[in-house]
């Protein structure tokens, strides 16, 4: 049986697989990333972690608005913020009073258990993904906390938060660890590993098994003049998304 193709590596191929106008996929990736950085509101999503206002362990209105910058304007509406922000504010206050070391009832307790710099490329990424998956479940309404009944979707009386929105929010807080699961990313996963694959698991496996992937990303970032604080995982997300929504020839 032939080994599964590593699709992430193909987007940063330095030996060929270009679109015709570019000789290599890496050259395509450089142009797409440069265009995105120069013209998109997306960079507003990528936190400058050296700014004094940045707190990796608190979900705030700034995070909701940053998700809105990624083609999800509903996150910036008054109806949305009026429903969702008190949820996170109350949770953070309850978390501050909680002394359970393995609490599974507060979003912020669970978030603090995942190091701010945890990376999908690290050996312990699977452990941290397990915690983020539990946090995901709590947010979607399956948690055990009394004030968590129904989760955020129940507050909105809709599934507006959805898979894409929730993964973007968690990626905002752990940009090196959490892949964004929009329709393009999920299609990549299904094509690579089959419809029964765990999305984060498959993306993690491809990131960790790719030879020289991080070096290739660093080169693309440098040539595209992308900000140094944009994580490697975010570069992957941008390049895959930009390619598949009409950039260089799709793969």
163/120: higher pLDDT:
120
Band of the pLDDT at 6, cuts 50, 70, 90? low
Please state, in angstroms and as integers, the Cα–Cα distance from residue 204 to each residue in 19, 122, 125, 195, 207, following that order: 26, 9, 8, 16, 5
| pLDDT score, position 143 | 42
List, for residues 183-216, the tens digit of each pLDDT value.
777 666 666 665 556 778 888 988 998 888 999 9
pTM over 0.85: yes
Paired tokens of 143? 């948690």
> What tokens were used for 47?
């936190």
The whole-number pLDDT of residue 144 equals 45
User: How confident is the model at residue 163, as a pLDDT?
Assistant: 79
For the stretch 43-94, pLDDT in tens is: 678 877 777 778 999 999 989 888 888 888 888 888 888 888 988 999 999 9
pLDDT of residue 5: 60
Burial per residue of 158-172, b for 16 or more beta-carbon CB atoms within 10 angstroms, e otherwise? eebbbbbbbbbbbbb
What whole-number distance in Å separates Cα of residue 135 and Cα of residue 124?
17
pLDDT surpassing 80 at residue 98: yes
pLDDT at residue 141 is higher than 80: no
DSSP 17: B
* Pairwise CA distance, residues 46 & 66, whole Å: 8
pLDDT for position 213: 92
> Which one, of 89, 30, 39, lies nearest residue 64 by Cα?
89
Over residues 153-162, mean pLDDT: 60
Q: Give pLDDT, residue 1.
A: 37
The alpha carbon dihedral of 146, 152, 153, 156 has a sign of: positive
Tell me the torsion sign for CA atoms 19, 20, 23, 27: negative
């Amino acid at each position: 049986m032939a080994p599964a193709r590593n699709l992430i590596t193909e987007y940063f191929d330095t030996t060929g697989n270009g679109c015709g106008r570019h000789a290599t996929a890496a050259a395509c990736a450089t142009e797409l990333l440069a265009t995105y950085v120069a013209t998109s509101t997306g960079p507003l999503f990528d936190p400058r972690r050296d700014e004094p206002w940045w707190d990796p362990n608190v979900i705030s209105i700034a995070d909701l608005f940053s998700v809105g910058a990624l083609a999800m304007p509903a996150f910036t509406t008054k109806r949305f913020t009026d429903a969702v922000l008190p949820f996170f504010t109350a949770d953070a206050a309850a978390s501050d009073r909680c002394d359970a070391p393995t609490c599974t009832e507060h979003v912020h307790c669970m978030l603090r258990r995942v190091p701010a710099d945890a990376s999908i490329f690290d050996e312990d990424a699977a452990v941290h993904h397990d915690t983020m998956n539990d946090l995901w479940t709590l947010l979607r309404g399956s948690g055990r906390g009394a004030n968590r009944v129904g989760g955020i979707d129940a507050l909105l009386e809709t599934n507006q938060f959805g898979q894409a929105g929730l993964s973007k929010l968690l990626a905002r807080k752990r940009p090196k660890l959490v892949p964004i699961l929009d329709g393009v990313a999920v299609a990549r996963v299904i094509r690579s590993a089959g419809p029964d694959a765990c999305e984060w698991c498959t993306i993690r496996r491809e990131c960790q098994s790719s030879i020289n992937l991080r070096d290739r990303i660093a080169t693309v970032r440098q040539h595209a003049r992308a900000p140094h604080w944009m994580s490697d995982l975010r570069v992957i997300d941008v390049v895959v998304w930009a390619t598949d929504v009409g950039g260089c020839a799709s793969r």
